[in-house]
Chains A and B, each alone.
Chain A
Amino acid sequence: MTRFFDWFDDRTGYRQVLAETLHRNITGGPRWRYSVGRALLFVFFLQMVTGLALWASYSPSAHTAWESVFHIQYHVSGGWFLRGLHYYGNQALLILLALYLMMAIVARAYRAPREIMWWLSIGFLLVVTVISITGELLPWDEKNVAAAGVRAEIVSLTPGAGEQLKHLLVGGSEFGHLSLTRFFALHAGFLPAIALLILLVYANLYRRFGPATTSEPTDPGTAPYWPNQAVRDAIVCAAVLAIIMGFTLAHGMGPEGGAPLYAPYDPARTFPAPRPPWYFLFLYKFLNLCEHLGRAGSVVGAIVVPGLVVGFFLLAPWIGRTRSGHMLIFSVFSLMAGLIVGLTLLVLREDSSDRVFVQNWKLAQEQSARAQLLAANLPMGPAGGAELLRNDSLTMGRHLFSRKCSSCHRYGGEDGLGRTPSDSPTAPDLKGFADRAWLKGLMEPDKIVSPHYFGGTNFKDGDMVGFVKDTVAEYDDQQKKDLETALIALSAEAKLRSQAALDAADAARIAAGAELLAGTSGSLGCVDCHKFRDEGDSSGGPDLTGYGSKKWLMDMIRNPGHEVYYKTDPKKYNMPAFGGQGSLSERDIELLAEWLRGEWYEAP
C-alpha cells in the first residue's frame, strides 16, 4: 500500500501539500476565533455547490425563470431543501463577513504588512453584496422584479453615467429577458470568479503573514493546524451549517417551504408591499431619511455616504497607525453597526404597526401560495405561471373587484384585497351574494336599509325597500315560513358550489319554493313586480330567473341597464355597463362572476 502512495506522491507531491496545510504551525496556537474565517470559506463553498446544482435546473428568461425555480422547489429531488440552503446560506455569508471584518478591526488587522489583505476583505464584502443583490432577481417574481426596478433607478442616480449604467444592468430600457441574462451572468459567472480570485490571493497572503492577533504570541510555532485547530473549525462550520439548515427547515419542510417563492411577475398586477430583504432594510431607511433633506439627498444617501464609508475603511492602514486613529476606526465601525441595527429595527417596527402595509404583505403571501398551488396542480404552458394566475378567478376576481367595483361596492366590508375603505359604500356588499344568508338579510326590514344592502343607494326610498319595511315586516307565521321557502328556492337558482349539498338535500322544498316565487301557490306576490320563469314581468325589478347564476351575474355586470334588470333609468342606479365597449373585457367579466360565486379552482 505504501508503494502506491509513494508512486502517487512522486507524481503529485501531495505529501508536501498535506504537510503544509495540516501540519503547518499556527502562531500562538489554535484559537476559536480563527474558525470564523474558515466558516466563511465553508459557507462560500456551500453557496458554490448549491448554486451549481441550482444552475443545472434554472433557466434565466422572463418566461422560464419563475417556472424553473418552481420546478426546483416542487419537482427536483430535495430541490426545496437545496434552494433553502442557498437562500439562507447567503444571509449567513453576509453575517459572517460582517463578524469577520469586526474581528479584523478589533485585531487591527489592517496594519502593515496586511494592508492588501484588508483591502481584499472589503472588496470581498462588496462583491458578495452584489452577488446577493443579483441573485434576488433570478426567480423573476413580483417582489424581486419590483425591488430590482427600484434599485436600477437608484443606480441611475450616479452622477454622469447613471442612465447608461442602468441600461447596462437592465439590458435595455425595460426589464426583460436581457435583465435576467445579465444578472445571472454577474451572479453565477463574473462575480464568483472575482470572489474566488480574491480568496486565492488572500489565502496566499494569509499563509505568508498568518492571522493578526492583538497580543504578541508567547510561544510561537508550537501548535500545528491538525488536529486542534481543525477540530475547532469543524465544530464551527458544522454549527453554521446547522443554523442554515435550521432556518431552511423552519421555513417549511417540503416544497412549500425551504425558501420563499413569491407570485410570478406580471406587469398588469402591482406589487403592494415592496421592501428589500431584512439585511438591506437599513439602506432603505437610510436613503429614505437622506431624501427628506432635499433633492440632492438621494445622491448623498445612495452614493456619497456609502462611498465615503468605504473610502474611510480603505484608508484604515494609515488612519490606524496611531492609537487614537485606531479608536476612531473602531468608533466609526461601532457607530455604523449601531445605526444598522437601529435603522433595521425602526423599519421593522414602523411596518408592523402600519395596518395597510401588514394587509398588503398578507396579500403578497396569499398570492405566493396561490401561484404555487396553481402551478403544482394545473398544467403550465409556455406562457408560464403568470398565465395561470391571469386565468385564476380567485386572483383576478379580487383585483378586478378592487379596481372596478370597490369604489361603490364592498366585499365583506372590504375592497376584495383585504383593505378597508374609509367611506361608506354606495352599493350592496357582494360577499355571499345570492346565498341563503345574503337573501335572508335582504328581506329583513332593518337590514335592507343598512349600507350592507340598499342603504347607500337610491333604492333606499324605492319600492323594494318599502315592500320589505311595510309588508314583509307584517308577515304572519305562515307567510314567514313561505318567505323562507321561497328564498331557499331563489338561492338555489344560483347553483352556488358552496350550497350544492344543501340544495340537493332540500330539493322538495325548493320545488315548493319555486311555486311560491312564481305565485302559483301562496300569496307572496313576488311576480307583481319581478319576472320568474314564465310568470310576471320585470316592470318593477330585476328578473329573478337564474338569480345569481353565472349567466345572470355576467349579464348584470355587462349591462345592468338592460330591461330585465334595472332598465336605463340613471336616476335609479349608478352602475355603469362594463360590457360591450365598456372597460371590462368578456374574460374579465367572467372572472369576476366566477369569483363572486366562489367558483375558483380548488386543489384536490
Chain B
Amino acid sequence: MLALFLGCLTLLTPVASATLALLDPLRRRSAGRGNKVKVTSAQGAAQLKPGIPECFVLTGTRSDAWNTLPNETIGTIFLVRNNDGALTAFQAICPHQGCDVSYLPAECRFFCPCHKANFQADGSRVKGDSGPVCRDLDALEVEVRDGEVWVDYKKFRTGLDRKEEA
C-alpha cells in the first residue's frame, strides 16, 4: 500500500508541476483587451477621401512574453470617411479564418485571398461573392481627439456570425 501511494505521489508530482506550467496561457487573458492607439493626425485624417478606405499601420507598445517592445506594429486597420463626414475603422483581419484583408482601390472593395471573399467599402459582404465568410468586416470604435484619430484596437473571434472579442 505504502509503495503504491508513495510511488504515485512521487511520479505524479513532476507531472503536476509540468501540467501547471503548460496550462499557463489559460491564465492570461490580456492582449485581446482594448488598446487605444493613435491612427493618424488631423492632417492625415483630412486627406481621407469620402468613401475610399485607406490602410493604416498601427504602432504602439507590444508585449511578447519576456519582451516589452516600444514602437512596434500592433496591427493594421482601414479607415474610411463616410459621406456624412463620420469616420469608420475596420479590422484588417478577415472574420472567417483570420487571413489578411487588403483593399483594392481600383475595384472599390476589400478582398481576402484565402477563400476569395469580397467586402464592399462599407465593410459589408458582397452578396454572392463573399465566399464562406459569416459576418461583415469588424468595425472598431473610433475616437477623435482634437482632430487626431484614435481607435480602440481589438481582435475578434473568427468563424462566428457575431462579433465577439477574442
Contact = CB atoms under 8 A, between A and B. Distances in A.
Residue from B32, B92, B159 whose CB has the most chain A CB atoms within 10 Å = B159
A228 B118 CA distance: 61
Interface in A142-179: 146, 149-150, 152-154, 156-157, 163-164, 167-168, 170-174, 176-178
A156 B157 CA distance: 9
A174 B28 CA distance: 11
Given A163-B157, A178-B25, A581-B41, A274 B114 contact: yes
Interface stretch (B1-9, B61-69, B81-89): B61-69
B30 interface: yes
A273 B100 CA distance: 10
B159 A157 contact: yes
B144 interface: no
B28 A173 contact: yes
A291 B92 CA distance: 21
B28 A271 contact: no
B99 interface: yes
B100 A271 contact: yes
B47 A154 contact: no
A582 B73 contact: no
In terms of DSSP, what is the predominant structure of the interface of chain A?
Answer: loop
A427 interface: no
A57 to B, nearest CB: 22
A164 B26 contact: yes
Interface string B123-166: 00000000110100000000000000000000101110100001
Contacts of B44: 581-583
A171 B75 CA distance: 19
A431 to B, nearest CB: 17
A415 B43 CA distance: 25
Contacts of B47: 576-578, 582-583
Contact of B29 (A173, A177, A423): A173
Nearest to A63: B67
Interface residues of A, number: 53
B97 A154 contact: yes
Nearest to A172: B25
A170 B24 CA distance: 11
A297 B131 CA distance: 13
Interface string B29-58: 111100000001111100100001011110
A357 B155 CA distance: 27
Interface string A56-91: 000000110000000000000000000000000000
Contact of A581 (B42, B55, B57): B42
Given A149-B98, A173-B29, A360-B113, A168 B22 contact: yes
Interface in A341-400: 356-357, 360
A577 to B, nearest CB: 7
A591 to B, nearest CB: 13
Nearest to A271: B100
A395 B140 CA distance: 29
A2 interface: no
A311 interface: no
Contacts of A266: 73
**Size band of the B side of the interface?**
35 or more
A456 B55 CA distance: 24
Contacts of A50: none
Contact of B158 (A156, A174, A578): A156
Contact of B43 (A274, A292, A356, A581): A581
Contact of A176 (B22, B65, B158): B65
A63 B73 CA distance: 14
A356 B23 CA distance: 42
Nearest to A302: B159
Contacts of B72: 267
Interface string B3-19: 00000000000000000
Contacts of A177: 64-67
Contact of B28 (A63, A172, A270, A421): A172
B40, B52, B56, B64, most chain A CB atoms within 10 A? B64
Contacts of B105: 406-407, 421
Q: Most chain-A Cβ atoms within 10 A of its Cβ — which of B31, B47, B107?
A: B47
Contact of A268 (B22, B41, B43, B76): B76
A604 interface: no
Contacts of A357: 113
Given A272-B102, A581-B44, A407 B132 contact: no
A545 interface: no
Given A168-B26, A267-B73, A292-B132, A422 B106 contact: yes
B101 to A, nearest CB: 8
Given A146-B99, A173-B166, A270-B92, 16 more contacts: A150-B114, A167-B28, A170-B25, A173-B155, A174-B31, A178-B25, A267-B74, A270-B100, A272-B102, A291-B131, A291-B132, A292-B132, A406-B105, A421-B106, A421-B107, A577-B43
20 contacts: A153-B98, A154-B97, A156-B157, A170-B25, A174-B64, A174-B155, A270-B100, A274-B100, A288-B115, A291-B132, A292-B132, A295-B134, A297-B132, A360-B113, A421-B107, A581-B41, A581-B44, A582-B41, A583-B47, A583-B54
Among all A-B residue pairs, the 7 with the closest Cβ atoms: A421-B106, A291-B132, A270-B100, A581-B41, A581-B43, A176-B64, A576-B47
